Homo-oligomer: A and B are copies of this chain.
Amino acid sequence: MTEFDDQAALEPAVEEDAYQLDKRLISGILYTLEAKDRHTLVELLEPLHPADIADIIEQINPYDRRRLVQLYGEEFDGDILSELDDSLREEIIQVLRPDVLAEAVRELESDDIVDLVEDLDEPQQEAILDQLEDADRVAVEQALSFPENTAGRLMQRETVWVPEDWSVGQAIDHLRDARQLPEQFYHVILVDPRMKPVGNVTLGKLMSSKRNVPLSTITEDVFQTIPVTQDEEDVAYAFNQYHLISAPVVDGDERLIGMITIDDAMAVLDEEHEEDILRLAGVSEETSLSDTIFEAAKGRATWLFVNLLTAILASLVIGVFSETIDQMVALAVLMPIVASMGGNAGTQTMTVTVRALATKDLTSQNALRVARRELSVGALNGVFFGFIMALVAGFWFGVPMLAVVIGIAMVFTQIAAALGGIVIPMALDRAGIDPALASGPFVTTVTDVVGFFAFLGLASSILL
């Protein structure tokens, strides 16, 4: 079935580092900064996509960054600002000449301006809003009046809609007569007399249908409207789950007030994932490669501090058994193995649970069954690794009962890890706390405490 070995020879060689910025290009740009050669700089940056220019700005050091923005001058456009990492925007905005900034912002669509200003300080926000024409300013301020991270912040206000009882011909004539259409639109939205969206017609269907066909007969099978206060994470979920390309946004009376397109939903999905990965590792979300050392250290310190407290707690458990350890130092040598295996198994179960909650695959419907399954998995791996470790410990220290103790302790710890890994994230989720953010410290506390207690406790009662 797979004959790609022959085929591959006919295909273009795809470089390993597709879409990676060319190293020589960056060197060239740094050289133009050194030489203050504005002409060449513009020539080098002109053909690049704004997202790539933003990436270059993020990758060079703060000193070069400042020089680049100043030398590039009026060529610096709004799209570059839009594409920049949140953490760098304030810095760049402060360096931009006010007239360049004003011009840059005026080019942007209102939803991009919202995205740009929502994280800025009040004075910077005001400075940018002041540059806008009245209509844009009102649009942006209205968007900002919706809660952060909701559909209202994400949507564009410009939509293309027609009455639900129109025909294909009427819609085509309307579009061809329209003075200005949105930059990006893929559907014509059908609305009822109360402005409630009732269906989507793709432009492709519109173009290939006869003029007298009623629009209501060629709508898409899948149609979802998005409440304006819906969390953007759920918006991204809906786009991914139902393969939406664009969806109308409605207010509390179900009236059409905007539209979200899949590219914005994809960006949200990407951000949410990034946030989840970093939170699971205990890195605060603000951290990016362009943060300063102090910011980055602070972003990591919170979780490290929590971890310190849980580690001390685990040490207190060890402290209880210090006499036992004093009598048999092999316990001190082996105990980190029990804790480490428990910590890893707990992290595994916790990560599976956090993901399943995010993808809505874990619900109260199947929670009990999933928990039962995780406990069985923990028990199975506990027995398996407990047996291996018993053999290792037995041969290493030549004390048969030590082998029994570590084997049993491993089983206990693996089961506790499975239990903690599923119950803790679910409880946090139920309490309205992001399980990705807070589960880690609790789960490791459980596995450490159970691990040390089981191992040292068993040792003190069986061995000594």
Contact = CB atoms under 8 A, between A and B. Distances in A.
Nearest to A160: B204
A146 B7 CA distance: 7
Interface string A370-386: 10011011001100110
A461 interface: no
Contacts of A448: 336, 340
A266 B240 contact: yes
Contacts of A172: 207
A212 interface: no
A44 interface: no
A3 B145 contact: yes
A376 B239 contact: no
Contact of A315 (B147, B270, B337): B337
A90 interface: no
Contacts of A66: none
Interface stretch (A93-101, A192-200, A292-300): A292-300
A12 B266 contact: no
A377 B11 contact: no
Interface in A284-323: 287-289, 293-294, 296-297, 300-301, 303-305, 307-308, 311-312, 314-315, 318-319, 322-323
A16 B457 CA distance: 44
A61 B369 CA distance: 8
A230 B18 contact: yes
Nearest to A239: B266
A92 interface: no
Contacts of A288: 361
Q: Is the interface of A mostly helix, strand, loop or mixed?
A: helix
Nearest to A432: B16
Contacts of A281: 280, 347-348, 350-352
Contact of A186 (B203, B242, B265, B294): B203
A334 interface: yes
A17 B300 CA distance: 31
A157 B1 CA distance: 19
Interface string A402-422: 000000000000000000000
A175 interface: yes
Contact of A227 (B1, B14, B273, B337): B14
Given A240-B270, A263-B245, A345-B304, A319 B337 contact: no
B207 A204 contact: no
A360 B19 contact: yes
A247 to B, nearest CB: 12
Contact of A20 (B52, B145, B318, B360): B360
A427 interface: no
B297 A380 contact: yes
B380 A294 contact: yes
Contact of A352 (B287, B347, B348, B362): B287
A311 B308 CA distance: 20
A84 B55 CA distance: 37
B303 A384 contact: no
B337 A336 contact: no
Contacts of A208: 175-176, 178, 181
Interface string A349-365: 01110011001111111
Nearest to A9: B252
Contacts of A244: 263
A130 B52 CA distance: 46
A337 B322 contact: no
A385 B245 contact: no
Given A61-B369, A181-B208, A308-B337, 12 more contacts: A1-B125, A19-B237, A20-B363, A52-B241, A59-B365, A186-B186, A274-B359, A289-B373, A294-B380, A301-B381, A314-B337, A325-B325
5 contacts: A18-B234, A20-B360, A184-B245, A185-B204, A301-B385
